[in-house]
Structure 1
Amino acid sequence: MSKQEKGYQVIIFDWDGTLVDSTGRIVDSMQRAARDIGLAEVPDSAVQNIIGLGLPEAIKTVWPDIHADQLPVMSAAYAHYFVVDSQVGMDFFPEARDMLERLRSNYRLAVATGKSRKGLDRMLDDMAIRHCFDITRCADETKSKPNPQMLKEILVELDLQPEQALMVGDTSYDLDMAKAIGMDSVGMSHGAHDESVLLACGPRAICHSIQELELWIGTHG
């Protein structure tokens, strides 16, 4: 079936926790960076809950009393631990790479992520997956989730309407930004936010694996 015959013309994916199993690595890197600058210890769940936001917004949400001059120091420390010195592994969820390769034959594919442009570009190249995506948007070049600005920019560039797009994500931030502009969404339960949190955002479906997601898209997309 051609791209033109599909109900959805573009599928927009979140990155961390949706395509890539990176939740543990993000939490580990954030906690180590916070310890480096003497911030108060917080539960891992507090860090997990802010995955999906842009890095400055995420840090300020968990540590609202952080001083302005500490923010860039912690951001740099987080990036170092995440990229160079993490003690936690990271890779695509099983079947994610193969799913993207198959979907790109029938859909345009996009990424809308809380990562920085530098961070996403590094991962696209390191994981040899850049060729699958028509367009990507990052939190440091537009407004952070849950503001839907990055979705609007993707639609404008592709000359599409919200009803022609599907957002796939593992957090309420992903699903809420889609809902704000009338875009359908699917929640992934294998990432940062609990299934009950995702359901409250009104997605068309909750999928528990990449295989289940691909089957849902094949049936409803």
Structure 2
Amino acid sequence: MPEPRLVIFDVDGTLVDSQEMIVAAFTHAYAGLDLAPPPRDQMLRFVGRSLELIFPELSPELDAPLHDKLTQGYRDAYFHLRKTRGSNATSPLYPGAMQALETLRAQDWTLLAVATGKSKRGLDKLIEGYGLEGYFLSQQVADFHPSKPHPAMVQTCLNETGVAAERTVMIGDTTFDIDMGRAAGVKTIGVSWGYHPVETLQADTIIHSFDALHSAIDDLIGLET
């Protein structure tokens, strides 16, 4: 059997397309304070960062108490939308995502993990909604780590699985994901269907559909050393 390898996925913008719910939650947060929301592209630019860090960067003209209120307003709106509509409607999987996960999971030498800016509650609900219990050996969320692109999430994945950095790849759609992976010393795959312009991603390789994922993983970290 080949030596174990680790494949780490970002979630929003990589596995699921939650941009409509994200924009709706941002819009609700600002509307709750009678403030005009920023343009859509600016909102999506910060996807992947820890929520507490987003509003000071997105609206630096506002003070800290307003940033805190926006953060809570976003959380309340996000959880309400997910509760009332369900994960499948608010965060649909991208075409080919489930098949890709199933194929990788079936490989005894491939371990799966996630490193996401979601909260633990948010990730748990998503996993439950899609029946992905048991798929990810390591699940790293924003609650317990510095925000991306700090490498702590990836480093913890490595520690929990015992897989070496050179046998690991990080897959994501934002510069935060790619910079995080690079900072942790792992290979990186950028996806072109996410929330950051593909030309801004400085990944080791870029894929344009899940059909290309497996060969990209094999090319970067191989089947065996």
Could you tell me the TM-score, scaled by structure 1's length?
0.89
* Offset, 1:75: 2.5
Unpaired segments of 5 or more residues in structure 2? none
Measured against aligned partners, the alpha-carbon deviations of 1:5-55 in whole angstroms (never above 9, x if no partner) come to: 46xx10000000000011232122112211212334311111110001011
1:204 alignment partner in structure 2: 204
2: distance between equivalents of 1:179 and 1:57? 21
Q: Contact 2:26 / 2:37 at 8 angstroms: preserved in 1?
A: no
**Please, what is the CA RMSD of the aligned residues?**
2.0
Q: Which amino acid aligns with 1:111?
A: V
Question: Partner of 2:142 in structure 1?
Answer: 139
Instruction: Report Cα offsets for 1:74-110 as digits up to 9, x if no partner.
Output: 2232123223237984310012112111101221000
Aligned to 1:15: 11
Aligned length: 214
8 Å Cα contact 1:23/1:191 also seen in 2: no
Equivalent residue for 1:149, pick from 133, 152, 162: 152
Structure-1 residue corresponding to 2:126? 123
Shift of 1:191: 0.5
Question: 1:218: how far off?
Answer: 4.8
The 8 Å contact of residues 9 and 115 in structure 2, kept in 1 or not, is answered as yes
Q: Which amino acid aligns with 1:105?
A: A
Deviation digits for residues 144-185 of structure 1, max 9, x if unmatched? 101111111111111222111100000000000111122100
Structure 1 segments unaligned to the other structure (5+ residues)? none
**What's the CA shift for 1:70?**
3.0
Q: TM-score, normalising length from structure 2?
A: 0.87
Whether 2:167 is the aligned partner of 1:164: answer yes
How big is the shift at 1:69?
2.7
Distance 1:40 1:187 in 2: 32
Structure 1 residues 77, 24: CA separation in 2 closer, same or farther (over 3 Å shift)?
Answer: same
Give, in whole Å, the separation in 1 of the partners of 2:41 and 2:175: 15
1:65-214 alignment, distance < 5 Å: 65-85=61-81, 89-106=90-107, 107-198=110-201, 201=202, 203-214=203-214
CA spacing shift, 1:31–1:151, aligned 2, 3 Å:
same
Q: Is the 8 A contact 1:10 1:109 kept in 2?
A: yes
Partner of 2:44: 48
SS in 2 for 1:84: helix
**1: CA distance, partners of 2:90 / 2:35:** 25
